[in-house]
Amino acid sequence: MKEKNSLYLLVASVVAALGGLLFGFDTAVISGTTPFIQPYFHLSDVGLGWTVSSLLVGCIVGVTLSGKPGDLFGRRNTLRAAALVFVVSAAGSALAARLWVFITFRFFGGIAVGTASMLSPMYISEISPGERRGALVSLNQLAIVIGILIAFFTNYLLVGTGGDNWRWMLSVMGLPALLFFVALFFVPESPRWLVQKRKIDDAFKVLSKISGDESANHELAEIEKSIASEDAGTYRDVFSKELRPILVIGMLLAFFQQMTGINSIMYYAPIIFQKIGNGTNSAFIQTVAVGAVNLIFTLVSLRLIDRWGRKPLLIVGAIGMIVSLLVMSGAFFLKHFEGYLILVFILVFIASFAVSIGPVAWVVIAEIFPNRLRSKAMSVAIVTLWTFTFLVSLTFPVVLDRLGGGAAFGIFGVMCILLLIYVIFRLPETKGKSLEELERILVHK
């Protein structure tokens, strides 16, 4: 019975994590198109930065707007709507002949990405037992990096298909988006959302399938007690003095996740490799290597996050990112690009990110906020994440061109030093605790 319950939980989590796969694909696929859309649309460095980051403006809108429908219509139904928007965005951006059309459809794709980035980890966190939540929510990050790797690999396969290669790169996303839409009809709604809507019997059925009748009764009582003791939350409550310390945790983790510079590499990897003298095909192959390492070390994190805890992974990862970024910065300043030096340390950086702040930020953001405020508080944290993703992605081509890789990677290295200090001295450990326990510890302490 336990094996059956585990399979039921795993299937539901994997389906929800497909939203993360589309998130990863849609954000990373642009990296392969940049060498081709820049001349096609006659883009300057600033124009390229805006075109790439236009998706991220949509992400901010998507996160902001998805909380309300997620609460009204359910996590599952809102994710279905996002899946359809992914399909439309893939087709529209692939067929665009004018820049404003391209940017418009990328913007709508960003709305879907923002929705998935918020509701997929929220859904998984709300159906998962405390002792397995870290690994299961990390499935969302695993799906993101699989999506990134698929995008890098399909870009590599399609780079030689002629002048419209970038259109084919963008259109591929339509297939997994349709799969996500269909698969969501075969998973349950979040039991916590069902309790909020007073669908107690339905919530019990879901919890029973996940953990058995005895545990389901206990979990249901915990959820009902938590929800019944509180009124509906508002954004004023999110920014209240009581919740502020927890909100700061979520916002700082979101800030640091992006200020490591991860998406500068994910979005502009072919351009970075071309800057150090690699040809187009070589640059695309090396970009696939970046995606593969990202996947492998996310799997490592998946194995360790509920064993080691969140803080140890963050400390190890931050140290690895600091070393690799500072070495890369020095190599750019000294123009020492011989052999595979830059590639090796980019891969060390990717591995360090993937085992730590990449998945851990999403896990902690999904688990630290109280039930009544989770969607609103998560939206604030994730808007913070996408805002800094946008700013870094918008400015990186200009910084790389005018200040050079040494300055760019040096700034990211300093940010990782600050991350390490924050984790050691300020971040609480959340390993192995139920959402209701965390609420009592973090909010009512």
pLDDT in tens, 168-195: 999 988 888 999 999 999 888 888 888 8
Q: Looking at residue 333, what is its pLDDT? A: 83
For residues 94-118, average pLDDT: 91
Q: Looking at residue 5, what is its pLDDT? A: 65
Q: Looking at residue 278, what is its pLDDT? A: 57
**Average confidence score pLDDT of the chain:** 84
Given a contact cutoff of 8 angstroms between Cβ atoms, the answer to whether 357 and 318 are in contact is: yes
- C-alpha to C-alpha distance for 348 and 352, rounded to whole angstroms: 6
- C-alpha to C-alpha distance for 421 and 212, rounded to whole angstroms: 42
Largest CA distance in the chain: 66
First vs last C-alpha separation in the chain: 37
Three-class SS of residue 1?
Answer: coil
Check pLDDT > 90 for residue 257. Answer: yes
Which of residues 336 and 168 earns the better pLDDT score? 168
- C-alpha to C-alpha distance for 171 and 105, rounded to whole angstroms: 12
The amino acid at residue 351 is A
Q: Looking at residue 253, what is its pLDDT? A: 94
- The set of residues, in sequence order, having a beta carbon less than 8 Å from that of 214 and lying 6+ positions away, is none
Q: Looking at residue 411, what is its pLDDT? A: 92
Given a contact cutoff of 8 angstroms between Cβ atoms, the answer to whether 128 and 136 are in contact is: yes
User: Each residue of 282-328: pLDDT tens digit?
Assistant: 667 777 888 889 889 988 988 888 888 889 999 999 999 999 999 98
| Pure H helices in 276-372 | 280-304, 310-334, 341-354, 357-367
Q: Looking at residue 121, what is its pLDDT? A: 83
pLDDT band, very low/low/confident/very high, at 206 (cuts 50, 70, 90): confident
Given a contact cutoff of 8 angstroms between Cβ atoms, the answer to whether 260 and 321 are in contact is: yes
pLDDT band, very low/low/confident/very high, at 363 (cuts 50, 70, 90): confident
Domain boundaries, the chain: 2-187+230-442
What is the enclosing helix (H) or strand (E) of 267?
Answer: helix 262-275
Lowest mean pLDDT among 10-24, 95-109, 219-233: 219-233
User: Each residue of 50-73: pLDDT tens digit?
Assistant: 888 888 889 888 888 887 888 889
Q: What architecture is domain 2-187+230-442?
A: Up-down Bundle (1.20)
Q: Looking at residue 349, what is its pLDDT? A: 94
Check pLDDT > 60 for residue 431. Answer: yes
For residues 329-350, average pLDDT: 80
Lowest mean pLDDT among 145-154, 175-184, 186-195, 424-433: 424-433
